[in-house]
A = this chain, B = another copy of it.
Amino acid sequence: MRWRESSDPAMNRLLVIGTGLIGGSFALATRKAGCFSHIDGHDSDASAAAAALRLGHIDAVAPDLSAAIAAADLVLVAVPVATVASMVRRVCESNRTATVIDAGSVKGSLLEELRRSGAMPPRFVPSHPMAGSEKRGPEAANAGLFRDRPVILTPQPETDPHALARAREWWSATGARVVETSAAIHDEMVALTSHLPHLIAYAFMNWVGKPHGGVPADFAGPGLNDFTRIAASDAAMWRRILSGNRAAVLAQYDGLAASMNRFVELLRSERFDELETLLAQAQATRLRMIEAGGQPDD
């Protein structure tokens, strides 16, 4: 048995719901790879959809979302975390063959929400591309955003193997490296590697802003710039991410707080030899991360 989609992959149709940074970059990358014969776009913000059309990310702004959903072979739901579940449900109920992916930063709360509202849709392949920018919107999109970046898939027991295979193919076409893990491991790891650094960078900027009214330009070096870059990220989006992954973020914060206290207590009590040992361990971990990470260090 075959699915409805054309055996010629270039005859497939993509619908991007949410034509911002992620949606636009996915459209550009799969267009470059020749994956789709047509790319529809939809955004609750009409000006974002119009910009995506003007910038050539999409072929058309879907005038009727239901019709565009019905016609699609792949639907990328790239909307704010809080609305992913209801949109995935709507898409999967109106199109019984399309593969559906998202790009949300939190998986556990999304999957719980889907389970609470009915059966897990088998053609939904939960996806999180580990790529992004503190910049947002269609203007920030680029075809290379996912290149050599991991995309984490967290398929469920109900997930259809065919849909999973198609999701893997299409993500791979963007240049991304596809990885599978559980939602729990995903959420713990992103709490550590992304959500916690954002929380700290935001808290740092508020401390800088409070007593000092901002950093005098003369003292803002490249180290500070890199350390706080992620605090330029959208506050409303990060409210949703932090609240969506609340338990994992709090657990990781407790671990970090203990580590910070050890450093500070050694500095306070002038135990500089022990402090240097901790600094050297941290440096070694960071150097290992650079070697392992495939992440350029400059």
- Footprint of B on A, CB under 8 Å? 130-134, 149-150, 152, 177, 179, 181, 189-190, 192-194, 196-212, 214-236, 238-239, 242-243, 246, 249-250, 252-253, 255-260, 262-264, 267-268, 270, 272, 275-276, 278-290, 292-297
Across the interface, A130 reaches (CB within 8 A) one of B210, B218, B275, namely B218
Interface centre among A203, A281, A282 (most CB of B within 10 A): A282
- Return chain B residues, CB-CB under 8 Å to A218: 130, 150, 152, 177, 179, 181, 189
> Is B221 within 8 A of A132, CB to CB?
yes
A227 touching B230 in the complex, CB below 8 Å, given contacts A199-B264, A217-B293? yes
A205 touching B263 in the complex, CB below 8 Å, given contacts A219-B190, A222-B295? no
Cβ-closest chain B residue relative to A260: B203
- Return chain B residues, CB-CB under 8 Å to A130: 218-221
> Is A282 within 8 A of B231, CB to CB?
yes
> Is B255 within 8 A of A202, CB to CB?
no
A223 touching B200 in the complex, CB below 8 Å, given contacts A218-B179, A253-B264? no
Give min CB distance, A274 to chain B, whole Å. Answer: 10
Across the interface, A211 reaches (CB within 8 A) one of B234, B255, B260, B284, namely B255
> Is B272 within 8 A of A239, CB to CB?
yes
> Is B225 within 8 A of A276, CB to CB?
no
> Is B231 within 8 A of A223, CB to CB?
no
Known: A206-B281, A206-B285. 16 other contacts (CB 8 A): A130-B219, A177-B218, A192-B215, A197-B223, A199-B260, A204-B282, A205-B286, A206-B278, A208-B285, A209-B281, A229-B286, A231-B282, A232-B283, A235-B280, A249-B267, A250-B267
Across the interface, A225 reaches (CB within 8 A) one of B134, B202, B243, B295, namely B295
Bound CA–CA A177/B218 (angstroms): 9
- Return chain B residues, CB-CB under 8 Å to A289: 205, 208, 214-215, 220, 228
> Is A259 within 8 A of B150, CB to CB?
no
Bound CA–CA A220/B131 (angstroms): 10
Across the interface, A208 reaches (CB within 8 A) one of B192, B209, B262, B267, namely B192
A204 touching B197 in the complex, CB below 8 Å, given contacts A132-B221, A293-B217? yes
- Return chain B residues, CB-CB under 8 Å to A282: 201-206, 209, 231, 235
Q: 15 A-B contacts, Cβ less than 8 Å apart?
A: A189-B215, A197-B227, A199-B260, A199-B264, A202-B283, A203-B262, A205-B289, A206-B263, A206-B278, A207-B258, A220-B295, A226-B227, A232-B287, A232-B297, A243-B270
Bound CA–CA A287/B289 (angstroms): 29
> Is A242 within 8 A of B275, CB to CB?
yes
- Return chain B residues, CB-CB under 8 Å to A210: 255, 259
